[in-house]
Structure 1
Amino acid sequence: MKKTNIRLLATFAMLATAVLPGWADLIVETDFQRKMPVAFSGYAGTSSLTNFPALVKFDTSIDGFSYDLFAEGGVNLRFADAAGNLLAYEIDTWNTSGTSLIWVKIPELAATTQITAYWGSDSTQHAASQTDGSVWGAATYAGVWHLNEAGTTSADATANNLDGSNGSTTYVAAGKLGAARQISNGAKQDKDGLGIVVPNYNSLGLGNSFTVSTWLKYKTGQTPGYDRIIGRKTAYNDSNGWEITLRDGSTTLLDHRGANGDSQQSTVFGNVADGNWQFLTVVYDGTTSRAYLNGTLKSTKNIVAAATDNNKTLVLGNNQAKVETSFKGSLDEMRLRDAVSSADWIKAEYDSVANAAFAAYGTIETIVADLPALGVSTVADVDFHSADLTYTVTRLGTSNPDILIAYGTSAEDLAQTNLVAAGVSATGTYEHTLAGLLCSTTYYARHLATNASGAAQSGVFSFTTPGDPALGTASITATGTTLDITGSLTDIGVSNATVELWFGTDAETLSVIETWPDLSAPQAFSKTLSSQPFGTYYCRFRAVNVCNGATNEVWTTIASDTIFGTCTW
């Protein structure tokens, strides 16, 4: 009789959608119609950058590129690394009449890194990374504001949900990266109450070490006042918080303050009001603040009082209460990172946007449907030493494929491979039996289809073979000075089981007082003990069988009762 694992259906359902390391996150090339390599040969750093969000740009300047095979909104776009592992990405701007902007999380960025973009599948949904913040979380960004929304909210792209309220700031269609927000177009020193208000982020615990960056474009030809770029201070001389501002009467100076009023004034800009977009980064590390412009270090200043969390809102383009001089110009791609960004990281953030040679786009290839294709594999039934499995052939390819099963006891090591069927000649769903399995063992498996053009594979699934015996509940009842002990064997498992009764007056030191060997199931058993002295007695049952040449055992929970007392188990 087959012994179907009751937990199997739930396990398989979970694995059908879960990401199993090294397997379920692989790209299936034959699901797509086009692919294109993207190399980051323009990265100039000396260190590799872990989980770096690199910008990928799509437009018709790429040789052979067209939006024709993309579904609406780019939902059928995916990226994979050189090993075929799917990569997290977020579409910032999708513009089929111009340039589309996509941030892709690169596990290790170096000048030799290459990824591949795939599109033209039947997918009708974005990957989860489009909305779950996973592009940014691994790199410890606390907040990322693309500032490209036309509405009243500037959404935070991270999972921290630090969405900003735009107030009366203005949507600008032509930012540095798609759209942007103009904070103010007022005169010097105007305190017009404009700014983007972000909720208090104290729960993130950034402390005094973090990095702030933004693209900014100041009002052309206007001399700044004390324009606030970003801050958490109500006033410049508050004894808490931090802020970054321009300097009154200067187009070259920047103030970056910690938790006091002392100005850390430094020359950063050539001319902030020259009408160009410029990339500003300020790094706080607890004792110093460093200012970078367009990826180049411009200033290092000692901080008299380190930046602090202060239970106040964060405001882009003004001070915390929006009562100081607002920023006269536009901001784009504002980021707050819970890390001290390295010089290589900061330069790569700048180059990824501003250096056209940072990402090199290779030849677009058509993916020909010569390969076979497989659908979802399922588990029909499981016995002690075998499992009935199904596979679905959805495409034969250029020649009839052979079907194989790869399996093992680890999802990362499917070392055993068996031929299932040779030269399958029709699409459809087929069943086969995988034999020679160990009892009481969890297996991981996937089907492979191979023909003259190559191989395709199903997703990884799992099942567990039965083997252990099963016991009912132990019971001990005191009547006068007599103890009646009962139990039951509900399933023998892989072979007939031996049941032992363990008994005593100390739950920690029970000993065997009765054995029932070679039992089949179901079967009840009992033991009566007469003329027992006053006291509390404990018992439990142990069932033993042999699986894979080794002893399998299961125990009941301990039951107890007291002579002249009431059962307490």
Structure 2
Amino acid sequence: VQVTVQTAVVQYTLSVTKSGDGSGTVNFNPPNSSFSLPHSESYSSGQNVILTANAAVGSTFTGWSGGGGGSGWLNRKKITFSNSASTENLINFPALIILNSSRIDYGKTQNSGQDIRFFDSDGTTALPYEIEKWDESGTSYVWVKVPQIDAGSNTDYIWMYYNNTSASDAQNAPAVWDSNFKGVWHLPNGTILSANDSTSNGNNATAITSTVTSGKIDGAASFNGTTRVTLPSINVTTAFTLEAWIYPTAFNTGYDRILTKAWISNANPYQVYSINFTGSGPRYISLVAGSATFRHIMASLTSVTLNQWMHVVGTYDGVAGNLKIYVNGDLDNSTTGKTGTVESNAQPVEIGYNTVFTSGQNFIGTIDEAKISSVARSASWIMAEYKAGIDTFNSYGTEESLPSDCSGTGTCTVNMTEDRNVTASFNLSAPQPDFSLNSSNAIYATIVQGQTTNRSNSTTITVSPLNGFSSNINFSVQSISPAIAYTPNFSNSTLSSSQYASGSTFSITLPASTPAGIYTIVIKGDSGGIVRTVNLTLNVEIFNPNWVEF
């Protein structure tokens, strides 16, 4: 049995559009045909296409743009996500991209990462991104909003583009975080702790007494049991997610706060929402949702260990009635039957601190990447966040070189390894200085038999300057048709700009043997290669003095 396997040839589209106020055509080769713009042709993968621009009369071709693999970016790398264990699609997921010298060639990037870009798998859909830290001598952290990572997939990917010396910074931090995020505080490294909110909500810290330190992801906030990071009042209703990376170095008296919004006083329910430690003895993660009519509380099954990083997440769904605690990506404990709307009040949100009971309930250690959402995030989402934080969610492909963009006014060669877009720019030509010649009079000449010559009457040739023309013009007779013998004469064989209007008087001397007839005289004006002509009519008559008029 003979089996023939036919492989479909991959086709890509080359699209050429026009910019500018001029016009023209572009020749695609193959098929070696010229087309008005816009125009598209399909080609096999790897095929080279040569483009040639042809400007229309009155227009000038000013150059190409595009056509390369990344519109000015010379390198790219595929980043693939490991989401095979997930049971749901992750929609608008903020993926953490961790870069170092083994994952990106810092010698090909701008010093602050201004030229880094991220695109969806189609290579054309730009993705919002936020650089938390760019460190060419170490590790860089970038957050990218990925539209969808499929459930059960370990093949979904995005592209990272870089190596473009002319690119400017294009970060859009608020767009990275979906509308369900109420606040994202990276607590980045620096000489002074910053606690600005990366979302569009602008929930920046209103007071900071904690200090900056190294964190799980870039920098973090260091707490000594009395220090704090105070945020604006953030209210949620029937659902929330509280999360952070923590590194406790000691236990306080009890109920050490991680991320908390307190009740209006030190009384039941004590917190509107909170993720914190339990009281004395072995410490566990405690999650609280409260109002004037209820206090839902649950503790983790996993105890807190000092001097190691833990990713802790608490979710509340007041409609479904669920409290859930996740430790290091895994669902650690949950309960049902806990419904209700969380109370709203004016109390601030605190990181590492209890607003209404300040003694012994504050965090000791380091807190990083604190986040609040107004929805209960899913188990798949939280696991992906954890895997990203420990750098096991992404894999980084090999560096690919991209064809450079077309430029200049010569031909443009495009290599079709994906869909390509090229722009041809045509501008209207700038008006050039010019002139025209004018004469309103014909010349009449009478040849008298028996005389040797007769000078004709004359006509005046004037100049009309155009577009600022002001150069000298030299006059001569270009031709007489039919050809005859003649002697030309110009009163001014060269006119300057001040003489254009008065012009040059032209006359012609004819021999007595000139036949009668109508002749066309072409007068040429030449100014540095700009040549213009005017046609004169010469009417020659023969007069015999012996003729008698009856």
Regarding TM over 0.5, the answer is yes
1:169/1:117 CA distance change after superposition, 3 Å: same
Paired residues of 2:68 and 2:403 also in contact (CA < 8 A) = no
Give me the whole-angstrom Cα distance separating, in 2, the residues matched to 1:451 and 1:305: 60
User: How far is 1:100 from its partner?
Assistant: 0.6
> Could you tell me whether the CA contact under 8 Å between 1:241 and 1:258 is conserved in 2?
yes
Contact 2:133 2:141 in 1 (8 A): yes
Alpha-carbon deviation of 1:61?
3.1
Among candidates 358, 379, 394, match of residue 393 of structure 2:
358
**1:127 to partner: Cα distance:** 1.2
- Decide whether the 8 Å contact of 1:258 with 1:304 is kept in 2: no
State the match for 2:534 in structure 1: none
CA distance in 2, matches of 1:181, 1:103: 19
Aligned to 1:347, what secondary structure does the other structure show? Answer: helix
Q: Distance in 1 between matches of 2:357 and 2:106?
A: 43
Q: In the superposition, relative to structure 1, how do residues 161 and 454 fare at CA in structure 2: closer, same or farther (>3 Å)?
A: closer
Q: What is the one-letter code of the residue matched to 2:287? A: H
Cα distance in 2 between the residues matched to 1:223 and 1:58 = 36
Is 1:225 the equivalent of 2:251?
A: no
Secondary structure at the residue paired with 1:201?
A: coil
| 1:457 corresponding residue in structure 2 | 421
- CA contact under 8 A between 1:240 and 1:309: conserved in structure 2? no
| Percent identical residues | 26
Judging by fraction of residues, say which structure has more strand.
Answer: 2
User: 1:78 is matched by which residue type in structure 2?
Assistant: R
Matched residue SS, 1:282: strand
CA separation of 1:454 and 1:147: change in aligned 2, threshold 3 A = closer
Mapped to 1, the partners of 2:396 and 2:185 lie a distance apart of: 27
Work out whether residues 230 and 350 of structure 2, in 8 Å CA contact, stay in contact via their aligned partners in 1.
yes
The alignment status of 1:278 with 2:304, answered yes or no, reads no
**In 1, Cα distance between the equivalents of 2:68 and 2:259?**
41
Q: Which runs of 5+ in 2 are unaligned?
A: 1-19, 22-66, 426-550
Among 68, 82, 85, the residue aligned to 2:107 = 68
1:533-552 matches, within 5 Å, as none
How many residues align? The count is 350
Do 2:187 and 2:193's aligned partners in 1 also have CA atoms closer than 8 Å?
Answer: no
Q: Separation in 2 of the partners of 1:41 and 1:57? A: 14
Asked whether 1:293 is paired with 2:327, we answer: yes
Partner of 1:248: 279
- Equivalent residue runs for 1:22-33 within 5 Å: 29-33=70-74
CA contact (8 A) 2:298 2:323 kept: no
Sort the Cα spacing of 1:262 and 1:67 in 2 relative to 1 into closer, same or farther, 3 A.
same
Q: Paired residue for 2:302?
A: 269
CA shift for structure 1 position 283: 0.3
Secondary structure of residue in 1 paired with 2:208: coil
| 1:114 aligned to which of 144, 157, 171 | 157
Aligned to 1:44: 85
User: Using CA pairs below 8 Å that are at least 6 residues apart, which structure has the higher relative contact order?
Assistant: 2
For residues 83-102 of structure 1, the aligned pairs below 5 Å read: 83-84=122-123, 85-102=125-142
CA offsets 1:234-293 (integer angstroms, 9 cap, x no match): 4352477222221122334232222258472423433x2331110001001113321110
CA–CA distance in structure 2, aligned partners of residues 322 and 162 of structure 1: 23
Selected match of 1:215 from 209, 234, 245: 245
Change (3 A) 1:241 1:41: closer
CA RMSD of aligned residues (A): 3.1
CA distance in 1, matches of 2:296, 2:419: 64
Distance 1:321 1:450 in 2: 67
Question: Structure 1 residues 364 and 255, CA, compared in 2 at 3 Å: closer, same or farther?
Answer: same
Partners of 2:306 and 2:325 in 1: how far apart?
19
Aligned residue for 1:242, secondary structure, equals strand
- Name the residue aligned to 2:183: 143
Contact 2:130 2:171 in 1 (8 A): no
Q: For 2:79 and 2:414, how far apart are their aligned partners in 1?
A: 28
The amino acid across from 1:318 in the alignment is Y
State the shift of 1:38 in Å.
0.7
Equivalent runs, 1:389-408 vs 2, <5 Å: 393-394=407-408, 400-401=411-412
Matched residue, 1:57 = 98
2:433 corresponds to which residue? Answer: none
| Secondary structure of 2:384's aligned partner | helix
Tell me the secondary structure at the aligned position of residue 352 of structure 1.
helix
What does residue range 473-512 of structure 1 map to in structure 2 within 5 Å?
Answer: none
Partner amino acid, structure 1, of 2:259? I
Rounded to whole Å, the distance in 1 between the matches of 2:371 and 2:106 is: 30
1:312 matches 2:342: no
1:164-203 equivalence runs, <5 A: 164-173=205-214, 175-184=215-224, 186=225, 192=226, 194-202=227-235
Three-state SS of the structure 2 residue aligned to 1:31 is: coil
Separation in 1 of the partners of 2:371 and 2:333? 20
- For residue 154 of structure 1, give the secondary structure of its aligned residue in structure 2: coil
Q: Is the 8 A contact 1:230 1:319 kept in 2?
A: no
Normalised by the size of structure 2, how large is the TM-score?
0.58
- The aligned amino acid for 1:277 is W
CA contact (8 A) 1:152 1:165 kept: no
- Partner of 1:351, secondary structure, is helix
C-alpha distance 285-123 of structure 1, shift in aligned 2 (>3 A) = farther
Within-5 A mapping of 1:518-529:
none
Are the aligned partners of 1:104 and 1:135 in contact in 2 as well (CA < 8 Å)?
yes
Contact 1:243 1:319 in 2 (8 A): no
Classify the secondary structure of the residue corresponding to 1:74: coil
Q: How do 1:372-383 and structure 2 match up within 5 A?
A: 372-373=405-406
Distance 2:130 2:115 in 1: 13
User: What's the TM-score once normalised by structure 1's chain length?
Assistant: 0.56
Residue of structure 2 aligned with 1:77, choices 106, 109, 116: 116
Structure showing greater radius of gyration is: 2
The farther-off stretch of 106-115 and 251-260 is 251-260
SS of corresponding position for 2:302: coil
Quick one: distance in 1 between partners of 2:315 and 2:418?
50
| Alignment deviations for residues 17-41 of structure 1 (CA, whole Å, 9 cap, x no partner) | xxxxxxxxx9961411211111113
Question: Amino acid of the residue matched to residue 104 of structure 1?
Answer: V
Per mean C-alpha deviation after superposition, the further-off stretch among 255-264 and 324-333 is: 255-264
Partner SS, residue 106 of structure 2: coil
